[in-house]
């Protein structure tokens, strides 16, 4: 089953970006682990990252039209984008929201999510393990 793992802004900077918060793994490491996990559990993982909001919206529209399950780390757009929330509302296959860091332990502006109301589940603070757990949930759903 095809599954999208979609990543929002600044996540291409993983490894260099605030390693005390986000760890030392790069986006490439994350992609490798997600694709390898997918191969073990029967998911064809399509892993993407963008710094352009319209691109994420187009991917979510495709996921809605083709009923593709989504693991979504919308990064800062989680907290700011009504448009990303509206796109998530159109999804019919499972949607799992993930964050590498525990956003609830951080600044108050990170406590609100426009995605959560449309997600089957939310995982925050487990780093890469959150993505892997989300893929296992999708494979079993």
For the annotated catalytic residues, the residue numbers are 22, 99
Contact criterion met (CB below 8 Å) for 86 and 45: no
Closest separation between CB of residue 50 and ligand DQA, Å?
13
Cβ closest to ligand DQA, residue 2 vs residue 26 = 26
Contact mark string toward ligand DQA, 82..101, x via CB under 6 A? -----------------xxx
Closest separation between CB of residue 124 and ligand DQA, Å?
7
How far is the C-alpha of 30 from the C-alpha of 61, rounded, in Å?
Answer: 24
Half-sphere exposure (CA, 13 Å, Cβ side) for 35? 9
Closest separation between CB of residue 65 and ligand DQA, Å?
25
The binding site for ligand DQA (CB under 6 A) comprises 10, 73, 75-76, 78, 99-101, 103, 110
């Amino acid at each position: 089953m095809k599954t999208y793992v979609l990543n929002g802004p600044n996540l291409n900077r993983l490894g260099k970006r605030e390693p005390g918060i986000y760890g030392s793994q790069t986006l490439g490491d994350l992609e490798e682990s997600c694709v390898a996990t997918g191969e073990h559990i029967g998911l064809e993982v399509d892993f993407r990252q963008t710094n352009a909001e319209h691109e994420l919206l187009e991917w979510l529209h495709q996921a809605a039209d083709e009923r593709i399950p989504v693991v979504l780390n919308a990064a800062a757009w989680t907290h700011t984008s009504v448009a990303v929330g509206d796109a998530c509302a159109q999804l019919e296959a499972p949607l799992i929201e993930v964050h590498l860091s525990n956003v609830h332990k951080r600044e108050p502006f990170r406590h609100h999510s426009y995605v959560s109301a449309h997600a089957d589940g939310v995982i925050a603070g487990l780093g890469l393990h959150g993505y892997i757990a989300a893929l296992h949930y999708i494979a079993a759903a």
